[in-house]
Amino acid sequence: MSQEISEIYTEEFFVNMGPQHPSTHGVLRLLLRMDGEVVMDMVPHIGYLHRSLEKIAENRTYLQYIPFTDRIDYVSSMFCNQSFCMAVEKLANIPVPERAEYIRIIMVELNRIASHLIWLGTFSLDLGAITPFLYCFREREKILDLLEMTCGQRMTFNYMRVGGVSRDITAEFIPLAKDFVKYFLPRVDEYEDILTNNPIFLSRTKGIGLLDQKTAIDNGVTGPSLRATGLKWDLRKDEPYSIYDRFEFDIPTGKNSDVWDRYMVRIKEMRESLKIVQQALDGLPEGPIKTKTPAVFKPPAGEVYSRIEAPRGEMGFYIVSDGSPKPYRVKIRTGSFSNLTVLSLISRGWKIADLVAIFGSLDVVLPEVDR
Amino acid sequence: MSPEDIKEILTEKYSDKLKEDKIAGFEPSFIIEKDSLLEICRYLKESNGLSFDLLSCMCGADYEDRFEVIYLLFSFSNKHKLSLKVQLPKESPEVESVTSVWQGANWHEREIAELFGIKFKNHPDPRPILLPEDWDEGYPLRKDWSGKDFKRMPDFK
C-alpha cells in the first residue's frame, strides 16, 4: 500500500484561459502554468481585437477619424472623443465655447458612471453575484437614454467635434438629467448594501491581488487601480483640463490596494461624478456650442500630446501633424494597455478563481488594449 | 520643478548628447543621442531632484529620412514632465531597450518593434504582440507599407 502512495506524483500543467471565456470581457488569452488550482505563472496574449486604428488614422481626415475613436473603448466612447478633440484643439489652438465645455463634462461624467456600472455589473457577475448585474444595467439604461437623447446613439456616440460638440442638448434633457441625479444617488447605496460588507464578497476580495504602489507606477498603471494603492492622483484635479477646476469633488483613494479597495474606489468615484454632473447642470451657461472650423481643416505642423482621466486611467493621443488635412501619425495611449501588464505580476500564487476577481478588479477593456 | 529648471540641469550634464525639440504637452523635450539613451534614462529616474518614475507613453514614428521613438515621462513625486526622442537611421533601426529602467516599457517596445520594425536591444521578451501569429506582410505602420487589402483614401484638396 505504502508503495503505491509513493508512486503518486504531482506535476504542473498548462491551461488556456480564453480567448473565448466569459470572464475575460472581450477576447484575451491567458496562458496559465498551474500547480493544482494555484497560478504559478501567466502570460497574457493580446491582439485579438487589433483593428489597426493607428494606421487608419493616417488615412483619414481629422473629422473622419472621430467615429473611429469611439471604437477604441466602446463603453466609454465620450472620453475617446474628448481626448482626441482636445489633442487637435491644442495642436491647432482652437478655443472651445464655455457651453460646449459644460456639455462635454456632463456627457463624460455620465459616461464615466455608465462605464463604472458595466464594470460593477460584470465584476460582481464574475464573483457569482447576479443581482447587482441586473441593477447596474437597469441604471445604465437610464444614462444611455439621456445620451441617446443628445446624440442619437447609445454606445458609439461620435458626439464631440474639434472646437465643441456636434449638437446642443434638448430642452427636456436638463430636467431629466436632474431627476437622474436624484434617482441614482440612493442606488449606489443599494449596490453597497448588497456587496460592500457581504461576507462572501469580502472573502473573495479582501487581501486578494495586492499591487504595491512602486510596481504600479513602474508598470505605468493609472486610474482607479493606481488610486487604490493610496496615491491621490487624478488628472482632473492635479492637471485640470477643460473646466474641471470649477467643480468641487473629491478623489477617493484606497489603502491596502487589494481587489476590495479597487472596488471601493470606483463606487466612490460614481458618487463624485454625480456631484460634478449636478454642478455642471446648475451652472450650464447659454451660448454657442462650437467654434467654427474650416471645411477642409488643416492644423499647423507640429507634435502634441494631450491626456485626460478616463475611467480606466490616463488616456492620451499623441498626434504628429505635417500640416496636411490628415494626421501624419496618431498614437493612442490607453489605460487598459498598461494596466493589463501588471496582471501576471499580481496574480501569481493565487487560485484560478481569484485570478478572475483580480482581472475583473483591474477593469480592463480589450478593444482599448488592442486598438 | 519648472520646465526651465529641468532644461538647465539636463543641458548642463549632457550638453553634447542632447538638443532641444518641440512637443506641445510634455515640456521640455529633447532629442538625445541613441547611444546614451539608457544612461540618461537611468539618471532621469534615479536622480533625486528629477525622479521620473512613470513612463507614460512610448510612440514610434516613421519619417522620410529617419525613425523616431518618443518617450513621454512624468514624475509623480515632483509633478513635472519631459519628453525624449531618439532618432534612428532607416537602415536597420536599433535602440537600447529601457525595460530595465521602467518595466512598463516592455509592451510598448514590443508594439513598436512589431509595427515599425525597430529593434530593441536587450529586450527581455521580444515576442510579437498585436498582429496575428502568422503575419508576414512586413511592418504596417511604416509609411512605405502596402498590404494586400490596403487602399489609400483620396486626398483632400
Sequence spans of domains, chain B: 3-121
On whether the CB atoms of residues B6 and B80 are closer than 8 A, the answer is yes
On whether the CB atoms of residues A275 and A282 are closer than 8 A, the answer is no
Which of the four pLDDT bands, split at 50, 70 and 90, describes residue A83?
Answer: very high
Asked if the model's pLDDT at residue A117 lies above 90, the reply is yes
Q: Kindly report the number of other CB atoms within 10 A of residue A257's CB atom.
A: 25
What percentage of chain B carries pLDDT values higher than 70?
Answer: 97
CA distance B8 to chain A (A): 23
For chain A, helix (H) and strand (E) counts, in that order, are 16, 8
Alpha carbon separation from A349 to A12, A35, A75, A345, B126 (Å, rounded): 13, 9, 31, 10, 25
Residue where the block lists cell 515599425: B116
On chain A, the residues whose CB falls within 8 A of the CB of B154 are: none
pLDDT per residue as tens digits for the range A225-270: 999 998 888 888 888 888 898 899 999 998 888 899 999 999 999 9
Residue of B nearest to A234 (CA): B76
Most distant pair of Cα atoms in chain A: their distance: 88
Which of the four pLDDT bands, split at 50, 70 and 90, describes residue A325?
Answer: confident
Which of the four pLDDT bands, split at 50, 70 and 90, describes residue A277?
Answer: very high
- Looking at residue B65, the DSSP 8-state letter turns out to be S
Beta pairing, strands A329-333 & B54-62: unpaired
Residue where the block lists cell 488556456: A16
For chain B, helix (H) and strand (E) counts, in that order, are 3, 7
At residue A10, the 3 state secondary structure works out as coil
The highest-level CATH class for domain B3-121 is alpha beta
pLDDT higher for A54 or B155?
A54
The reply to whether residue A231 touches residue B72, judged by beta carbons under 8 angstroms, is no
Q: What is the mean pLDDT of residues A316-325?
A: 90
CA distance A295 to chain B (A): 11
pLDDT at position A108:
92
On chain A, the residues whose CB falls within 8 A of the CB of B61 are: 320, 328-329
What percentage of chain A carries pLDDT values higher than 90?
Answer: 29
On whether the CB atoms of residues A50 and B131 are closer than 8 A, the answer is yes
pLDDT at position A238:
86
Which of the four pLDDT bands, split at 50, 70 and 90, describes residue B157?
Answer: low
Asked if the model's pLDDT at residue A140 lies above 60, the reply is yes
Question: Please, where are the H alpha helices in A25-97?
Answer: 53-57, 62-70, 77-92
Kindly provide the ipTM of the predicted complex, given to two decimals.
0.88
Q: Looking at domain A51-370, which of 1.20.120.550, 1.20.1440.130, 3.40.640.10, 1.10.645.10 is its CATH number?
A: 1.10.645.10
Residue of B nearest to A221 (CA): B104
pLDDT at position B24:
66
Pick the closest to residue A261 from A216, A324, A218 (CA basis).
Answer: A216
What CA–CA distance (Å, rounded) separates A248 from A272? 9
Grid coordinates given for A121: 455589473
pLDDT at position A331:
92
Pick the closest to residue A17 from A37, A9, B129 (CA basis).
Answer: A37
Q: Which of B24, B55, B140 sits opposite A55 (nearest CB)?
A: B140
pLDDT per residue as tens digits for the range B30-77: 888 888 888 888 888 888 778 888 888 899 999 888 898 999 988 888
pLDDT at position A141:
92
What CA–CA distance (Å, rounded) separates A332 from A329? 10
The radius of gyration of chain B's CA atoms, rounded to the nearest angstrom, is 17
Q: Kindly report the number of other CB atoms within 10 A of residue A349's CB atom.
A: 11
Which of the four pLDDT bands, split at 50, 70 and 90, describes residue A155?
Answer: confident
Residues of B with CB under 8 A from a CB of A: 22-26, 53-57, 59-62, 70, 72, 76, 79, 83, 102-104, 106-107, 115, 129-132, 140-141, 152-153, 155-157
Residue A5 burial (CB < 10 Å; 0-12/13-18/19+)?
exposed
pLDDT at position A269:
92
Most distant pair of Cα atoms in chain B: their distance: 52
Asked if the model's pLDDT at residue A213 lies above 80, the reply is yes
pLDDT per residue as tens digits for the range A26-67: 788 889 998 888 898 889 988 888 888 898 888 888 888 999
Beta pairing, strands B67-74 & B54-62: antiparallel
pLDDT higher for B108 or B157?
B108
